[in-house]
Amino acid sequence: MGGRYAGVAAGIAWTGEGYQVEVLDGAGRRVVEASSWGADRVAELVPWLRGLSEGSGLAVVLDSTNGLLDGPLTAAGLDVYRADPWLLPPRPRFGSVPAERLARSALDGPARVTAEGGSLTGRAEEYHEGVRRSAPAQAAMTAAGRCFEHGRRDTPRVALTFDDGPDPVHTRQVLEILDRYGARATFFCVGHHVAALPDEVRRIADAGHELGNHSWSHPFLPDLTPEQLREQLDRTTEAVARVTGEAPTRFRPPYGGLTPEVLATLAEHPGTVTLWDVDSRDWSRPGPERIAETVLGGVRPGSVVLMHEGAGDRGQTVRALPSIIEGLLERGLEPVTVGELAAVPAAPAGVPVTRS
């Protein structure tokens, strides 16, 4: 670090087994011994980092292929930075660059991550441009039945979906609420958490809900090579299949981050790209009342609703969920899985579609 960086930097790398952490001072010396943390120990990792930050000006550095830690770290008041690919050496096919290299990248001007902007802080324009360029390819995949955003608008059903889990606390709470109302949902799980919390995955499957693939480490997909993207998909599919005996058939891209290049890789891969038409924005933690208002204000027959039960404090989502389900039922809208919503045949030609 050449002595130019006065604070302490913690680099957090992800692997197939969990997280590796290296903490260096401004001269590049280890502050503490390198450590390993399972994905099920984030609740311990966060206060450990907070303890290191007291009086040290700790900078926590992740890379753009790790979208699972910025939420809990920023919520804990830690200073979180994202090291983008142009600041780092090439990544391996599976995993991030080493934790030591991430810590040293604090010198190179990594992007500060905010709770409001999340993992894509400072890259919103790039994100939206990628989505815009993807529109023709996405439309073609939708027409071919390989991409799904919402169901028929004359069908009184809505798909509630939950991303980023499983979670050792919030998954069970969500399942209890769904069971109370007899509602079914789809859980798009990340492989990192599936491997660490297999019992929670079994709870989801045993309760009759649908499981989907949400990548392994929640990366910004445009930053991956085609080989790295396929590895994320395949490993997550294998992890879910090992636990439940059934491979997921749907994939949800993290952040909905797409480009024509990403879609070209996904088009060659089995499974249906599954997006949404109602974003609860619960990841910004605006309060349970606001989350419920956002969902109920945007939902229509056939809608797919995006919510989260992992990778952060999802207590607000849990508290909003009863109001959301009750609001749907009052309108005669049945909460179902994405698979059930998509199974409704297309409206016959000449039959008018009811709008709401």
For β-strands 9-14 and 19-24, DSSP reports them as antiparallel
Cβ proximity of 301 and 328 under 8 Å: no
The dihedral region occupied by 185, where left means phi > 0, alpha psi between -120 and 50, and beta the remainder, is beta
Rounded to an integer, what distance in angstroms lies between the CA atom of residue 210 and that of residue 207? 9
Of 53, 37, 56, 34, nearest to 45 by C-alpha is 37
Helix (H, G, I), strand (E, B) or coil at 166: coil
Q: Of 193, 209, 218, 308, which residue is the catalytic one?
A: 308
Q: What are phi and psi of 222, to 5 degrees?
A: -60, -15
Choice among 163, 164, 167, 223 that is catalytic: 163
Grouping H, G, I as helix, E, B as strand and the rest as coil, residue 327 is: helix
163 part of the active site: yes
Active site residue 154: no
Let me know how long the chain is.
356
b/e per residue 70-93 (b: at least 16 CB within 10 A)? bbbbbebebbbbbbbbebbeebee
Positions annotated as catalytic residues are: 163, 308
